[in-house]
Chain A
Amino acid sequence: MQNLFNRLKAHFPLGEITEQRENLAFITVERAQLRALLLHMRDIEGYTHLVLLTAVDWIEDGQLQLTYLLNNRAEARDVGLRVLLGRDGTVMDSIHDIWPTAETYQRELREMFGIDFPGSPRVNDDFALEGWVDIPPYRRDFDTLAFSEKNFTHRDGRETRDPRQHMKQKLYPDGGA
């Protein structure tokens, strides 16, 4: 992994690397380098299999992390490329011409995170939701519980307990400890 990182470092400016396992590492890259890096990884390093493309919402530092996970079957290695983007009005360039299957991921990200991929096929079509008017549901500031209580009629008689309080009362009925 480390020597792969050094080899890539020779061509591209890279961020820090996190080695999760001996066959899995995550590298932070700039948005500008991503496309060239993906092509390099696919054509030269042999990371031909796009495992997944997803996003993580770091709302505290106002960033959206896109993760492109690539797999090299011959060496049984995975590399995840992290791209950090701003949270509002996020636009990313599409890679559906490198991996056609990416168009599906990009449709989902467009719907679930509100990340736009200009030029990706049918990126604006509904993916899972239909007639969604609220903020994209996978963003951290979307409260699903409040939404469901506001929109759907609930059958009363259902009680939900916070497990921590519940266990405390069961273990220490006198409220002590």
Chain B
Amino acid sequence: MKDETNNDANTKVPMRDELKKRVIKGPDGFEFEVDPLRDYYCEEAPKEHPPIYVKIVEDFFNWARSESLWILGFGTGCGAIEMRPLMTPRFDAYRYGIQWRPTPRQANLLIISGYLSVKTLKRAIRAYEQMQSPKYVMGLGSCTINGGMYFDSYNTIKRLDEYMPVDLYIAGCMPRPEALLKGFEDLKKIIRSGKAEGANHYAEHFERYKENQKKVILDWDMPDYNW
């Protein structure tokens, strides 16, 4: 499966068998063709959703969005361990309208808690694309900013904003819960001022993001548009 003599890191990895297009015979004897990379997914690229309402309404909506941040409970790295104190008595993040949702459909804030290995980056991208606009991304820890102490690791990405639009970084290894709370407050300010349009930015520069992602994820075995 792995080719050890091949030193060119940019060669395409052969696609796995279960992902190839094939014809399947259903339980009722009915034959149909299955293309796993196309099933159940929208075909077109993400559309921009510019703010359409008049300013005061948008401001009101932005206030509502900023006051009810639903975080996708996806612990991608070390930082996940500080998420739990956030939800619990010491630093009770629920006071600030912050809740945890288990499914990306209902969340609108993705917290990349720490370094992202290439394998996790693929899942994080899917989770991000399944979230509904407007959506925000917070990068946690030095390793999302410039690699941190994994600057020479062969399996972790070094700049998060190359692969998805980041609204806010929180430095530190790892950031304390107080820093997270402060970060939430700053994110609320950004959202209220209407500057948190990461989803539109992502849709606008979709090709560049996809190019960056495919440059790192060598076995791209998922559709380009999945939401």
Is B11 part of the binding interface, using a Cβ–Cβ cutoff of 8 Å? Answer: yes
State whether A148 touches B162 (Cβ < 8 A): no
A-B contact count (CB 8 A): 80
Q: Of the candidates B119, B151, B162, which one forms a contact with A130 in the assembled complex, judged by CB atoms under 8 Å apart?
A: B119
State whether B212 touches A153 (Cβ < 8 A): yes
For B81, the chain A residues whose CB sits under 8 A away are: none
Q: A124-B1, A154-B146 are in contact. Are A131 and B158 (CB under 8 A)?
A: no
Which residues, 191 to 227 on B, are CB-close (under 8 Å) to A?
212, 215-219
For A124, the chain B residues whose CB sits under 8 A away are: 1
State whether A144 touches B147 (Cβ < 8 A): no
State whether B9 touches A154 (Cβ < 8 A): no
For A144, the chain B residues whose CB sits under 8 A away are: 152-154
A34 to chain B, nearest CB (A): 24
Please tell me the number of chain A residues within 8 Å of chain B, measured between CB atoms: 27
Is A151 part of the binding interface, using a Cβ–Cβ cutoff of 8 Å? Answer: yes
For B88, the chain A residues whose CB sits under 8 A away are: none
B170 to chain A, nearest CB (A): 16
- In the complex, what residue of chain A is closest to B221 when comparing beta carbons? A131
Q: A151-B9, A154-B146, A158-B146 are in contact. Are A129 and B155 (CB under 8 A)?
A: yes
Q: Of the candidates A130, A133, A160, which one forms a contact with B3 in the assembled complex, judged by CB atoms under 8 Å apart?
A: A133
State whether B146 touches A155 (Cβ < 8 A): yes
**Residue-wise interface mask of B (2-17) relative to A, using a CB-CB cutoff of 8 A (1 in contact, 0 not):** 1110111101010000
For A142, the chain B residues whose CB sits under 8 A away are: 154
Is A22 part of the binding interface, using a Cβ–Cβ cutoff of 8 Å? Answer: no
